[in-house]
Amino acid sequence: MEIRFEPTGAPKTKPDWNNLSFGRIYTDHMFILDYTEGRGWRDARIVPYAPLALDPAAMVLHYGMEVFEGMKAYYSQDGRVLLFRPQENAKRLNSSSERVCLPYLPEETFITAVCELTRVDQAWIPRQPGASLYIRPYIIADEAHLGVRPPFSCKFIIICSPVGAYYPEGLNPVRIYVEDEFVRSVIGGTGHTKCGGNYAASLIAQKKAEELGFTQVLWLDGIEHKYIEEVGTMNVLFCLGDEIVTPSLDGSILPGITRDSAIALLRSWGHKVSERKISVAELFQAGKDGNLREAFGTGTAAVVSPIGAFSVFGELLPVADGGIGPVARKLFDALTGIQWGRLPDEAGWTYEVKI
Ligand SMILES: *Cc1c(COP(=O)(O)O)cnc(C)c1O
């Protein structure tokens, strides 16, 4: 792929590296690739970061025709720039696109574009411990048309944002509200995709949880409101006695890359990991029996997020002593160690960006 490069004439001042929040600052450039039905993807370019010109009738503005990915570039101590399993992001973007009828994007195109933009804006990759460059690739339907049908034109765009350590003071357990009214998805819906609409639909529950004094929502299945699906925008794992349990990917759950990596590591350490249905009733019983040893979320942003307590239908269920368990701690150290190139990468998960 030939990428046209138009460097910015006005580089921005770099942020205060020690006070980065999430998703507020953007780098100097962005990547854009256009798609037209019949002609395919063309005109790859890296141009100065700037607002997009969109027709007010662009389909994305009316019907939420958008899919996205979330990944990071890590600056290693020996000066390499690393991505973590970017092929998985490329594949997942296509599986999201397929579900909402956006066009297929070749995986090599995705990876080349991510690498090129990261290389061009490499001075924006934070060097601080735990900080990284968050990368947001996405596709929008930019065709001006008010009919509801798959679009004839789209854009694949990548923007980047330097982000600080998710837990500047170290891992911090969160309190979770078990949501019994609103649901995130149902089997047959779009729960397994990162499509914009899913997140719009989740806000009301998130807002409610915050008003009640909780950090995030635990989503239950959309039919019986019985089985556990995810926490907020993270997958969830439980240590129940000697078994580690995570809900199986049955179509309504987002297949997290951190989840997949966590399962592989846990199994390589000899843990029994079961991907199966787990009900709130089972969780509650395990808590009462003293078997609920740990609970934690996994996702690119936080990596591992320990859960200290759940509010279950009006009752508070503490997780063990409410602190950070040994499994969550070990996983966090192992995953971040591999991501930042500090630990050996036996599974070949890191991908070096040639700079
Ligand atoms: C992105 C996301 C995750 C985590 O996926 P990772 O690939 O691990 O970052 C989990 N659940 C939802 C709903 C998400 O959007």
Which CATH number belongs to the domain containing residue 218 in this structure? 3.20.10.10
Same domain assignment for residues 58 and 198: no
* Contact residues for 43 (Cβ-Cβ < 8 A; gap 6+): 4, 32, 33, 34
Q: Which two tokens stand for residue 241?
A: 């006695």
Query: Cβ(300) to ligand 1 under 6 A?
Result: yes
234 lines ligand 1 (CB under 6 A): yes
Q: How far is CA 146 from CA 63, 70, 97, 100, in A?
A: 9, 29, 20, 16
SS (H, E, C) 11-63: CCCCCCHHHCCCCCCCCCEEEEEEEECCCEEEEEEEEECCCCCCCCCEHHHHH
| Position 216 in a domain | yes
Are 99 and 79 within one domain?
yes
Same domain, 140 and 182: no
**Segment 227-270, tens digit of pLDDT:** 999 999 999 999 999 999 999 999 999 999 999 999 999 999 99
Domain check: are 149 and 239 in the same one?
no
Supply 185's token pair.
């998805």
- Would strands 81-84 and 71-75 be described as parallel, antiparallel, or unpaired? antiparallel
In a domain, 44, yes or no: yes
Quote the number of domains for the chain. 2
Give the helix, strand, coil percentages of the chain, each rounded to 5: 25, 30, 45
* pLDDT value for 21: 86
pLDDT tens profile 135-150: 999 999 999 999 999 9
Decide whether any atom of ligand 1 lies within 6 Å of the 67 Cβ. Answer: no
Confidence of residue 167 (pLDDT cuts 50, 70, 90): confident
**Residue 261 identity:** S
In which band, very low, low, confident or very high, does the pLDDT at 31 lie, cut at 50, 70 and 90?
very high
- Do 193 and 303 fall into the same domain? yes
* Statement to judge: residues 86 and 54 lie in one domain: yes
Of the candidates 185, 177, 14, 173, the residue with the CA atom closest to the CA atom of residue 96: 185
* Same-domain check for residues 112 and 251: no
Is the residue at 348 inside a domain? no
Atom of ligand 1 nearest to the CA of 300: 9
Q: Is residue 146 part of a domain?
A: yes
Ligand 1 proximity of 184 Cβ (cutoff 6 Å): no
Do β-strands 40-48 and 174-178 pair in parallel, antiparallel, or remain unpaired? unpaired
Query: Does residue 353 belong to any structural domain of this protein?
Result: no
Residue nearest to atom 5 of ligand 1 (CA): 256
Whether 229 and 129 map to the same domain: the answer is: no
Q: Residue whose CA is closest, atom 14 of ligand 1?
A: 233
The pTM for the full model equals: 0.97
Domain end position, chosen among 163, 197, 220: 163
Q: Is the CB of 246 under 6 A from ligand 1?
A: no
Mean pLDDT of 174-195: 96
- 19: domain CATH number is 3.30.470.10
Residue percentage of the chain with pLDDT more than 70:
100
Q: Please report whether residue 168 resides in a domain.
A: no
Are the C-beta atoms of residues 161 and 15 closer than 8 Å to each other?
Answer: no
Give the residue, out of 71, 246, 257, 300, with the most ligand 1 atoms within 8 A of its beta carbon, to mutate for a pocket test.
300
User: Does residue 151 sit within a domain?
Assistant: yes
Residue 249 lies in a domain: yes
Q: Do 33 and 98 have their domain in common? A: yes
Using the 3D structure, point to which of 115, 134, 163 is the last residue of a domain.
163
131 with 186, same domain: the answer is no
Q: What is the pLDDT of residue 43?
A: 98
Of 163, 196, 217, the residue that ends a domain is: 163
Domain housing 95:
4-163
Whether 13 and 148 share a structural domain: yes
Integer Cα distance of 288 and 241 in angstroms: 12
128 and 227 in one domain? no
